[in-house]
Copies of this chain bind each other. A is one copy, B any other.
Amino acid sequence: MNISEAATQSGLPAKTIRYYEDIGLVDPARRQDNGYRDYGVRDVHLLRFLHRARNLGFTVADCRNLLSLYTDGDRHSANVKAIALNRIADIDQKIAELGEMRSVLATLADKCHGDDRPDCPILDEFSGAGE
């Protein structure tokens, strides 16, 4: 499939896919006879994974780490497992932090009357004079 189809299916802009190839985050794509890049289902899976990871605040360097689990077939299973478990710990931490932010916002939403009165008790917490 062409790059625009891979872009649609993975959620990454075509520009970004080419960029990832440029910086060596993904292997150079196969080329069709006309010189166009050619993508398969596996490529799209990988790109989608990258798309998610970047959206979720992993850096490109983090992504290289994540991908090494897939692409480095020579790595010992024990190492793969250890690295995967580390990444899972990272993800759990992010989930916990999102949970905290969520509860901050939920408290805020909850304390707001939801009517038209412009008084939210929690606003005092952050606005107004410093200490």
Residues of A within 8 A of B (CB): 30, 38-43, 45-46, 49, 52-57, 66, 69-71, 73-78, 80-81, 84-85, 87-88, 91-92, 94-95, 97-102, 104-106, 108-109, 112-120, 122-123, 125-128, 130-131
A109-B84 CB under 8 A given contacts A97-B56, A98-B94, A101-B49: yes
Give chain B nearest CB distance to A90 CB in angstroms. 10
Q: Nearest chain-B residue to A56 (Cβ)?
A: B57
Instruction: Decide: A84 and B56 in contact? CB cutoff 8 A.
Output: no
Q: Which of B42, B80, B85 contacts A125 (CB 8 A)?
A: B42
Instruction: Decide: B126 and A105 in contact? CB cutoff 8 A.
Output: no
Residues of B contacting A56 with CB < 8 Å? 56-57, 94, 97-98, 101
**How far apart are the CA atoms of A102 and B105 in the complex, in Å?**
24
Instruction: Decide: B75 and A118 in contact? CB cutoff 8 A.
Output: yes
Given contact pairs A30-B130, A92-B102, a sample of 5 additional A-B residue pairs in the complex whose CB atoms are under 8 Å apart: A56-B97, A73-B118, A77-B116, A77-B120, A91-B105
